[in-house]
């Protein structure tokens, strides 16, 4: 995946398109296809992309342009990754809870 040094809060669609060497129309198309991508707009209606938007675009670019996924395939992959991340977060929480219980148990045993 591409990595960019992002120094501004917001980027225009032209700047983002240049980062990925694609036409602005490609960025707008991906925006219409991927619900994860929702850049804000200013009072003139111009899109303003944040670093989060650019990370999402970078992931989409990686899947579609570098790994050869179809749009539907990339959507499924993003959903799978989201589900997997949620499952991993739940597992980490359970493990941390168990760790806390073990620490309390060890402390209790050492005091008695």
Q: How far apart are CA 7 and CA 10, in angstroms?
A: 9
pLDDT the model gives residue 3: 64
Domain 13-111, classified CATH 1.10.1660.10, yes or no: yes
Compute the mean pLDDT over every residue in the chain, rounded to the nearest whole number.
91
Q: Are strands 47-48 and 40-41 parallel, antiparallel or unpaired?
A: antiparallel
* Segment 27-74, tens digit of pLDDT: 999 999 999 999 999 999 999 999 999 999 999 999 999 999 999 999
- Is pTM beyond 0.75 here? no
CA distance 12 to 29: 15
The predicted structure's pLDDT at residue 2: 64
Rg (CA), the chain: 21
Burial class (CB in 10 A: 0-12, 13-18, 19+), 111: exposed
Cα-to-chain-centroid distance, residue 35: 12
């Amino acid at each position: 995946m591409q990595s960019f040094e992002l120094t501004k809060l917001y980027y225009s669609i032209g700047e983002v398109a240049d980062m990925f060497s694609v036409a602005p129309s490609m960025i707008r198309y991906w925006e219409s296809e991927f619900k994860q991508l929702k850049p804000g707009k200013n009072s003139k209606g111009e899109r303003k992309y944040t670093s989060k938007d650019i990370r999402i675009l970078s992931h989409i670019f990686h899947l579609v342009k570098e790994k050869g996924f179809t749009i539907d395939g990339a959507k499924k992959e993003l959903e799978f990754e989201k589900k997997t991340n949620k499952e991993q977060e739940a597992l980490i929480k359970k493990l941390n809870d168990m760790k806390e219980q073990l620490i309390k148990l060890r402390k209790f045993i050492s005091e008695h």
